[in-house]
Amino acid sequence: MKRRTRGARPNLRLLRVGEAIRHAMAEIFRREEIDDDDLRGVSVTVSEVEVSPDLRHARVFVTPLGGHDEVETVKALNRHRRFLRGKLAPFMTTKYLPELNFRLDERFDAAERVEHLLRSERVRSDLEKPDEGKEE
């Protein structure tokens, strides 16, 4: 399952199912306590869910909050994906219950890097230069 690119237009049904899974997973993470040292006390944000066209697989993009080890948190979620899939079942009305695959959502880090670059001295000095050759 390839991550959608900007120009791709996803199927509305897949988007709806992905959003339903995202909301359900957020509720499950809020309610359930998973008995794992790597997940104890960790708050997880579910930012996006991509569903395969046959609805049998779902990529769940997550971000652990509070400075917890992101890689270990995602590994722990993947270790408990069967348990989480079972908790997801009552929320779903689709014919198939997708297999879950948790991934770290790196978009927030990328946005932070861009923000840092835009605030850097080099970029700021370029933005503050008066336009040469421009008539007033």
Give the Cα separation of 62 and 116 in Å (integer).
23
The span from the first CA to the last CA of the chain, in angstroms, equals 54
What pLDDT is stored for residue 58 in this prediction?
96
Does a structural domain hold residue 16? yes
Strands (E), the chain: 43-51, 57-65, 99-104
DSSP conformational letter for 32: -
Q: What is this structure's pTM?
A: 0.73
Which of 17, 69, 19 is closest to 44 using CA atoms?
69
User: What's the Rg (C-alpha) of the chain?
Assistant: 20
Q: How many CA atoms lie within 13 A of 27 on its CB side?
A: 13
What pLDDT is stored for residue 39 in this prediction?
87
User: What are the strands of the beta sheet with 99-104, ordered from one edge?
Assistant: 43-51, 57-65, 99-104
Give the Cα separation of 123 and 109 in Å (integer).
19
Q: What is the CATH number of the domain that holds 108?
A: 3.30.300.20
Does a structural domain hold residue 72? yes
Q: How many domains does the chain have?
A: 1
What pLDDT is stored for residue 34 in this prediction?
86
What pLDDT is stored for residue 134 in this prediction?
56
DSSP conformational letter for 90: G
What pLDDT is stored for residue 5 in this prediction?
52
pLDDT tens readout for residues 47-82: 999 999 999 999 999 998 876 788 999 999 999 999
Does a structural domain hold residue 29? yes
What pLDDT is stored for residue 103 in this prediction?
95
Does a structural domain hold residue 108? yes
Domain coverage including residue 74 = 12-128
What pLDDT is stored for residue 68 in this prediction?
74
Taking 70 as the pLDDT cut, the residues of the chain under it are 1-10, 67, 108-114, 116-117, 123, 129-136
